[in-house]
Structure 1
Amino acid sequence: MMTDLESRVSRKLMLRIIPFVMLLYFVSFLDRVNVGFAALTMNKAIGLSPTAFGFGGGLFFIGYFLFEVPSNLILHKVGARRWIARVMVSWGIVSLASAFVVGPNSFYALRFLLGVAEAGFFPGIILYLSLWFPTRQRAVAAAWFMAAAPISTAIGSPISGAIMKLPSIAGFADWQMLYILEALPAVVLGFFVLKYLTDTPSKAQWLAPEERDWLIAKLKTEADARQSHAGHTAGAMRALRDPRVLALALIYFGTSAGLYTLGLWAPLIIKQYGFGSFETGLLAGIPSIAAVVAMILWARHSDRTEERTWHVVIPCALACLGFVFAGNASTALMIVLALVIVNVGISAAKAPLWAMPSMFLSGAGAAAGIAMINSIGNLGGFVGPFAIGWLKNVTGGYSAGLYVVGATLALSAVVTLMLSRQSKQTPVAAGERHSH
């Protein structure tokens, strides 16, 4: 049972940190996937084939991959407040510049630059949460943060669809207005981050002295327990070579392939059933609402039972089945139902997965390892959308690409089980109870 002091600190952390980082991720995800809505008219306007669109959509993750680890190590050095602010302002500027692409090459260049600008944001926040939340709250904190992605799809899809219906303003086309209007909040919030974020618990003036002391002591006790464990990694270079880090990256690869396939292609897949831009937005948003609920409840269960492995395996397998179902769907109702299954599976897997690295990584090792998992894993965000576009060109339909993405999630489930069997004596497989 939580003591009164622990409950008070927990409540303050959740209210002060989580809504704000959710807002940041909401805007981040909106700027990352609004290209799927821009594509409804942009592709024809600038001459993008399905293959070129899938390739450019995925190029984001190449830039992201190359700059992720350096970005997170800088964040570890200079603090989250200043670095997250820099990330947000720069990605807002690049996202706004996307309104001025004129053909495939400029589209490729700006998608790559968007990845470079945004590198370090997601793993930076995951690292930041591990500096504030004790182990028993970590999956739920991560789940609430990551819930901003499906919420962004649920709310952002109808908004994006509505913007695409606006009449031309100052000579800008609908897809250009979409980029401009959705980029501005990132720049504004970037400056707000400097005022609002607190780097570490020791600097938290918004906690009472006894609350601050309890939190610092609790986090230190947990860190000491982990460091005394034989499988613990604290150094950046050792973390990058740790096979557990590479295994988690491979697991995350499947979930990223699934998530960004949905973000980039779901509007186009739904629209083929004859819906307009706004109706497409509403339908694309439905699966995300189910995903948010599943994500939070599943993370709570994972934290309560202190079990991670099966909390990753089961949702990955479910998402795989959802993609197979989507590949066989023949009506709008079937495709939306399939997308619900896929969204629920992918979203539910993420929080228990992200609770794993901090069980065996700390310090610079955590900064490097979490960034490595995210950067390699996010290459799935390149492979998934590109596979769909390329196979659509080859086969004329979406089914083959959906099966390929489903296979990456099956691989995620298998690798999670293999990691668990390999690491029976480490906190990754066995959960927190072995780390105390």
Structure 2
Amino acid sequence: MAQGIAALPGAMVDETDQVYRKVTLRLIPFLFVCYVAAYLDRVNVGFAKLQMLNDLKFSETIYGLGAGIFFIGYFIFEVPSNIILHKVGARLWIARVMFTWAIISAAMMFVTTPTMFYVLRFLLGVAEAGLFPGVILYLTYWFPAKRRGSIIAMFMTGIPIAGLIGGPLSGWIMHSMSGLYGLAGWQWMFLIEALPSFVLAFGVLAYLTDSIAKAKWLTADEKALLTREIEADKGEATAHRLRDGFTSPWVWLLSVIYLFFIMGLYGVGFWLPTLIKGAGVTDTLTIGMLSSIPYGVAAVAMIVVGRMSDAARERRWHILVPGVIGAVGWLVSIQFSTNIVVAEIALTVATAGVLVTLAQFWCLPTAVLAGAAAATGIAVVNSVGNLAGFVSPYLIGWIVDRTQSTSLGVYTLAGCLLVGSLLALTMPKHLVNR
């Protein structure tokens, strides 16, 4: 009898792990693919820039404003979108998000003037608003805080994998299809890379499950186990009400931290191809291939650090250390910008540092917020933080136009990443280390 009782906790742990493994395999690969498609459509304008600026006679400032204005639409519609998702369910709302952004992303091929560029980028932000914070919110319905480090990291590897796939794909399309049927390579790129999102919109309707209770692929016992885990986890959060997502001081501190991190992220997304080109590489296909290496390394680093973070139940230092490493990578990439080997290694380190930091950051708001507060708070943090997506490319574009050098802009990105990492240490560890 005593042996049976002693064996029970271990058996329960094994059963719980098996159920979460089942949930992970069901949800994460599909959500990951959706995010790859989303992120590819968001940042492929960085590759289009290699041909688009010359074809349309756009300045660096016009490009920077157009690339960044996406985030104005994103900012305005982020919170309403997440509230709607919380009310109508992830399945219907994520499908709507993906369908509309696919149409608008494809329409980018028709851009001929700065005004068209600005309008379509703004509308793309409106269309995509809610996908990322919506999925982060959705994951809190299924996974307790102690498991989110690795789960969020797995989902967010969609960013580096989009770069890993998107770099060579975008480079190949622009290199091989330029002039086909009278269309430029960048026009073909926008059209072809919008197709996966269009198809996945219908896949979301057919595949995604809104909640544990509606999951026909779970047994009654599995549903009960998952529900107990989530209910126990909610009790440890400090904010639950809808208005808490707007009024909690932690939400606004997290928003500021995230804003600094996003400065570093979009330095990677929008300017990595340009920095590689500045190191002496001119062929778009080669630039695409070299751009994929930092993303591949970052994907591995995100998974490894996510597992370490969950195992240690420690979040703040798993944000600070990668952030410092990423900042150093940015600085070295500028100091050795004409040496393609050293620059590529430094850009790889910078990209890995930025993306690991971002993935671990999302363990903080999901630990502090629960329920309706999570719906609003996560959206507030993401929308405020993503204003940096507007500032970052526009600022660097403005600097490049006036100094003919990206050095000062990249120094700014490194500083922002470092400041955000240090601010993460101000979050009380008893709130976030769980």
TM-score category of the 2 structures, normalised to the smaller one: over 0.9
Find the aligned partners of 1:306 and 1:218 in 2 and give their Cα distance: 17
TM-score (norm 1): 0.94
Moved more, 138-147 or 341-350: 341-350
- Assess if the C-alpha contact under 8 Å between 1:266 and 1:284 holds in 2: yes
Match of 1:39 among 22, 25, 49: 49
Structure 2 matches for 1:4-403, cutoff 5 A?
Answer: 4-167=14-177, 168-223=179-234, 225-226=235-236, 232-272=238-278, 273-329=280-336, 330-403=338-411
Shift of residue 166, structure 1, vs aligned partner: 2.3
For residues 301-345 of structure 1, the C-alpha deviation after alignment (integer angstroms, 9 at most, x for no partner) is: 111111111111111111111111122123111221121111111
Find the aligned partners of 1:4 and 1:294 in 2 and give their Cα distance: 27
SS at structure 1 position matched to 2:218: coil
Q: What amino acid is the match of 1:238?
A: D
- Assess if the C-alpha contact under 8 Å between 2:281 and 2:287 holds in 1: no
Q: Which runs of 4+ in 1 moved over 6 A?
A: none
Q: Which residue of 2 aligns with 1:427?
A: 431
For residues 394-431 of structure 1, the C-alpha deviation after alignment (integer angstroms, 9 at most, x for no partner) is: 111110100011111121022112x23xx35x513xx1
Find the aligned partners of 2:343 and 2:148 in 1 and give their Cα distance: 34
SS at structure 2 position matched to 1:308: coil
Over the aligned positions, Cα root-mean-square deviation in angstroms equals 1.3
Moved more, 356-365 or 397-406: 356-365
SS at structure 1 position matched to 2:176: coil
Shift of residue 292, structure 1, vs aligned partner: 0.7
TM-score (norm 2): 0.94
Find the aligned partners of 2:334 and 2:388 in 1 and give their Cα distance: 19
Shift of residue 50, structure 1, vs aligned partner: 0.8
Q: What amino acid is the match of 1:341?
A: V
SS at structure 2 position matched to 1:199: coil
- Assess if the C-alpha contact under 8 Å between 1:47 and 1:103 holds in 2: no
Q: What percentage of residue pairs aligned between the two structures are identical?
A: 44
- Assess if the C-alpha contact under 8 Å between 1:257 and 1:382 holds in 2: no
- Assess if the C-alpha contact under 8 Å between 2:137 and 2:374 holds in 1: yes
SS at structure 1 position matched to 2:243: helix
Shift of residue 146, structure 1, vs aligned partner: 0.1
Find the aligned partners of 1:396 and 1:212 in 2 and give their Cα distance: 59
Find the aligned partners of 1:410 and 1:31 in 2 and give their Cα distance: 28
Find the aligned partners of 2:207 and 2:379 in 1 and give their Cα distance: 24
SS at structure 2 position matched to 1:164: helix
Q: Please list every run of 5 or more consecutive structure 1 residues that lacks an aligned counterpart in the other structure.
A: none
SS at structure 1 position matched to 2:175: coil
- Assess if the C-alpha contact under 8 Å between 2:245 and 2:375 holds in 1: no
SS at structure 2 position matched to 1:201: coil
Moved more, 256-265 or 20-29: 256-265
Q: What amino acid is the match of 2:431?
A: P
Q: What amino acid is the match of 1:66?
A: I
Find the aligned partners of 2:248 and 2:306 in 1 and give their Cα distance: 26
For residues 280-318 of structure 1, the C-alpha deviation after alignment (integer angstroms, 9 at most, x for no partner) is: 001001011110111111111111111111111111111
